[in-house]
Amino acid sequence: MKNYFSPQMSDGEIQNISGLGLAHLGDAVFELLVRSAMCSLGRETQTGMHKAAVSMVNASAQAAFAEILWEKLSGEERDVFRRARNAKVHSSPRNADIGSYHSATGLEALFGWLFLKGRTERINELFEVIMDHAEKDGES
């Protein structure tokens, strides 16, 4: 049976996925991380968890997180980020500028790529930096 929850694809298979494809997957990975964090922080109401999650899972917030993480990324991780950030998109959310949207796309692609590589420890390292920043700014 194929393991869809932890696929650990080969480098060649991952390279065949577009930057936007990686971002599509990474969006789900990032949201799962945020929702897990909200539960572990003891958010008691669904509304409270939802509001906290929405404050972190949007293009503007993700662009800010990408900026925070940039210096902590390896060269290979930066390449993945750039590949998706520079992808040609035909629309952006109405409440985010195109630059933020591109940076958010890069961040999501990075998380998708790390997920497909099976690098959950690295995902957790990077997400911990994000959570530390979010807690300092009162976002979570």
Residue 2 inside a domain? The answer is no
6-61 pLDDT tens trace: 887 899 999 999 999 999 999 999 999 999 998 887 766 788 778 888 888 899 99
Residue 5 inside a domain? The answer is no
Greater confidence (5 vs 11) lies with 11
63-85 pLDDT tens trace: 999 999 999 999 999 999 999 98
Residue 9 inside a domain? The answer is no
3 state SS of 7:
coil
Q: Which domain holds residue 127?
A: 17-137
82-118 pLDDT tens trace: 999 888 776 666 777 888 889 999 999 999 999 999 9
Are 32 and 123 in contact by the 8 Å Cβ rule? The answer is: no
Residue 46 inside a domain? The answer is yes
Catalytic residues: 27
Question: Per the structure, how many domains does the chain have?
Answer: 1
User: What CATH number is associated with residue 23?
Assistant: 1.10.1520.10
Residue 101 inside a domain? The answer is yes
The DSSP code for 71 is G
Of the candidates 66, 81, 56, 78, which has an alpha carbon nearest to the alpha carbon of residue 131?
56
